[in-house]
Amino acid sequence: MAMDDVCDLLCLDLPHAERIRAALPDTTRIEPAAGVARGLGDPTRLRIAAALLEGDELCVCDTAWIVGASQALVSHHLRQLRTAGVVTSRRDGRMVMYQLSDRGRSVLSVLVEVDNGTAVDADGDGDAVLEGADRV
């Protein structure tokens, strides 16, 4: 049974394919990018990162209120984002403050295509989303 997404004929443009293969970055260069992609691959983490893009630096409590999730859940996701290199954190007394890393800010601004940094309520249901987030 033939699949629609598989060639019916084995053919290879070897010079073209080899040029592309030689130009690909090796695994050691790809792995950090894959980690960032995994970090932002969850809707809650992407929403938290978008809040940080809008708010610059937020504590866990504010972030939890903004995204409408428990502090425990937000703290868990922020740890994952920090591990992925998307956010950085600093302790300020009894609070932990988070902000996007330079890499996280760059990747997120491309993903959500935010021009003016404002959230919009596109469908009028009171659940504001970042403009362009539907194009992720």
76-101 pLDDT tens trace: 999 999 999 999 999 999 999 999 99
Look up the pTM and report it: 0.69
Q: Collect all residues with Cβ–Cβ distance below 8 Å to 125 and sequence separation of at least 6.
A: none
Could you give the 3-state DSSP secondary structure of residue 82? helix
* DSSP summary character for residue 85: T
Amino acid at 58: L
Q: What is the Cα–Cα distance from 24 to 30, expressed in whole angstroms?
A: 9
Report the run of H or E that residue 57 belongs to, with start and end.
strand 57-59
Residues recorded for the chain: 136
Question: Average pLDDT of 68-83?
Answer: 95
